[in-house]
Structure 1
């Protein structure tokens, strides 16, 4: 045989071996769509078929319940009082722990353990409380968690992984496909690993204290403790078993030839249901029983000593369950599953397992499992077919190469002489544009940009005033509960006009702030009068400005009302000025006069947009430092529109049924006369500017220990500013302003003093305030500036 022929056969042989290794992964370690959870309550779950979302449905204590009915999952697994699911696409791993001592009505608490849109997960397994999954990255790393905490395992590429009681085993590709085991039970892990040391394995599945797997010649091998004969594999053909489910004292396997099950060890007592003539798509084991997904109607049937069932044939009242994960259409190597489109409800396909029996003799003899030495077999029919396939592919490749050379020479591309063809402009369909444009009359790029900018500007400035116009994304309550770790106190970051605000992280990784409406009767009455939730939803759905907090979405479910905003990493201005922790640290980025003036300018621009550019104009009614938030770049944004009003004329007077706002910031005219105008927001911003200047709260107590009478910041600061002694009340944390900052600080102080005038008509407009603060910021950058170089823009109306 020539060297070339030897090389070809070697390549083909290696290819076939790799093909076998990749196509028999259905035995353990692959994505499963049914799971068993044991412990406080036995719970059996499955991924529902025929629905727009492939969500999870579970059976426990005779009852059925859905889990996240609008979220799709690709695989699930169960352990002791825990079950987990990998979200479709593999980017997120979610787990539910069952609360103890609640046997009658068990409560499942969700938590996300993993999120990464780049390094996705597959082949999820759980053993007791140890959760592991293989990533889809090139390295095929194993990630594991114990008691919801991530821990490190041996790195390297793994073909498959499985977990048992206190240990996990995987097939390591960097160890000649040997088994590597690890976990808390190191003695058992080491013993199991040693039992497989002489085998080249394709995959491994772990039971309670034993493990099974298919070796490179297709035989199922079980090793470990052999109480009850659970590792005594019956005689079988190579690649006869397509799946195996080892429990605590038994093992079951699924025959590939006819989809029936074979079990050995302590399977069950006399009279227990055993599926003799039942065909299955997949099986999964609990401690002392096994469940399978039937081929006939894709229902879940269980059998064994501790089996739980409601039907006479061992069936559970779950809906039709998927036989495999729904993947994008066209991704299946061996074709889609029968009725795949309807089972996935049009959202992808279920891949049919690849058929390996073509490479076996037509009537192979009954064989026992191989010896540890694993003798090599002679080239099979698969090798001969591989040679034929190689010849065919080679011929096609040669023909394609000849065609490429001919085309290359004809076009001149190979020699650098490209033939240039006239391009055809697209046809523009629409009024006045029915003719095809030629090269001689191209569309003006500048005019296109102007049209796009014009449309964007119209969208920004206008919007419908309907109650729930242009709503954002709608979330379910369960999704938001998961994002906030069930609204834990650790995630509480503040309060708004109608509820408490929590930090959350959505399933796609976005950090958000979630405002949850109060559920007390008193709060409900207030909400009914003020409609804070509806107000914020109506306003923020149509307002888009860099100095307004953006609304991400909302939730209206049962009696729950929640709003989801983009997360402002640096929190509220109030906290930086007055929170005890920030005051003691004295290290805030805001401890510079330029930054404080810039924050005031950002807020003023946001309010100016509401007054002058929103259609119709909007009066915020609750401008205060706790409603001015700072994003990751320290850009200030106005938030909380629960008390806002809108009308066709922003300068007109409104008489709400009840004055609303916050003491210390509320407009005296509004509070006394129950008349609110845009100048009410000007007053609130004036108080905020005084806070920035002095570092004191809107209402504060005197430093005199003998006098605890509350003092208004306006009453305290305005007389001092008027007398020209501003320097005596400036916030000492910032320090005295530099020479080029003095004029800027004075300009903001005089602007604030005019903003808090008792009469609204004497206060400046937001446009005037923005102009003054812009000048103040420029003074900070210009050491030659002078306050006399231009008049302060204070225009009363």
Structure 2
């Protein structure tokens, strides 16, 4: 098919424009309609704080002192999205002159959001992945969430709309259907809502408006393709930025026609917003704010005493800027990111296609232009090339099918491994489909037969369930008791390094000079039968799990010993010990790598990845049941590994509950929902324990502690201590006082970790994130640390403690 050059240019332009976000209702300034208040996010102020102003009134500072990406205004309130997208605060200004501001946080993580959009009384936003719309408040006609992929959002009175990845307009709320139907199947690159009308740019670059035209707000001025950008819609007027000089044109408000703002000096604007009869913009030359009224024929300008405002949203990575970086944006963002250039100017020089109302017919093709005719050499070359490409594609598909078939023969049958059964060290449920991994019963059998069965089981467990990351796992070595006694100087006191779920841990040196940790759990006849059974269960459980698991962030099993009444497990030695010991040293004066916020976050990420393997990649799924800081070990390179599987369980699916299992674990880390009698064990129980570890890492407090100087006082859990304060947006108050203050980007990272931790320790398991969500947030936090600048905050920007 021949594509005319003009049409090809239009298609090319459309593809570029699609990637550009429309301003929508989110920007760095906002108008509160009922009071005429204008608020903005300050530029170059260390943290992107918010200030508000009205004509004839002093500037009003807005608390809390957090960093904000964007704000959006409604009828009598406005909202801000914090940097990183994890919090939304809304403010209602009751008495501007008295500085009375009501503050409410309506979102507090755990997932980052983008594209905040405030209508008359509703608040909507996209998740950062742009796969779901979330809404709050409103008149009851707005759904709490809408699934689907969207590029941008905007909101008006009683409706909110978004542009999907198919470029179609979708709307919600009581008036949503009205506006969705008005756009029909028109493909849009951007839309902006006013009170009762919506305007936008179609893919071909032309401006259209839909909705109420009671004041002429739909009477779009004539103009070429891609001539207009930066829309702002008020109660009964519309405004747009005209390219290439950035001047503003407005229409509607019963003014009769179109008027231009500051035509005499061609003042340019970076962007504009509107509310009621007020329109405001950030001036290109100095980033100050200029506003004007659009009431009838009176278009008076208003100078507001706001300082410099960010001319766009700060983003962390300049790689996300498709049209380049805004000049000096790094200083404007206080070294915490850059501002992307507007792509609008790129379209001016391109050949404009016809407006949507007058579709252009394809121009005639010159005779000299090369055409693919059936008799041409070009057509022959095209056919040959296409045929060769088709054969290659078919061959590639056949190869993939053959490889997949071969793998299915070699790899374990996952459908069998995930039959609805749970394997525990003390309650074994088996069926024919899982016989290859079932632990033989009874657990207590003559030592000779038990040893043979155990060796057979380890071999089967490793071969049947050791694929993927565990494919290269060596089989566990069977040691004699004398070998391990020699390695530990006969289990001397000086070799003792700790205790585990079923025994004492010793440091040992094998004959090949390999350092190991040896866990010893005796089954002496002097012990009660119940105690013997518990130790045997723990031994069997840990041996089974570690024999079939191998991952960078799980402790490695070297071997085992089972003689008479002795049960020993041999692990790779973790040179830097347990995380617990680094967080809760006796003197509190030791220094080391764990005194870095980046290192603390990195250790948390390591451990989370180990838990993610257990929950998502082990077959069947494994629930650890005893996640705590003393079970997170650090090797010689300070890589964290999860250890101690004596209480672990294997189950069919991570989300399936197991009500038959008794509560187990360590006080302070046990899932309250499970411990409190609901008795539903899921992977979310591990999430709770890991959330406690995260709070330990942030606060330096034990899971259960007493305040300093109150040794006789009531013990307090770190969850009760830290979670309410973090919820109030004052994370700084609970941070470990032995640590240095976090730098600018570190502060955002620490805050992200804190909010993730608080969600992990939610009382109800359904409200907790999955381990994959936790890993993603920790990866983002670590990336923030890695992009931080070396300069510290100035004293005026170091603390959240004081209010503006």
TM-score class, shorter: 0.3 to 0.5
**Structure with bigger gyration radius:** 1
Output the TM-score relative to the length of structure 2: 0.45
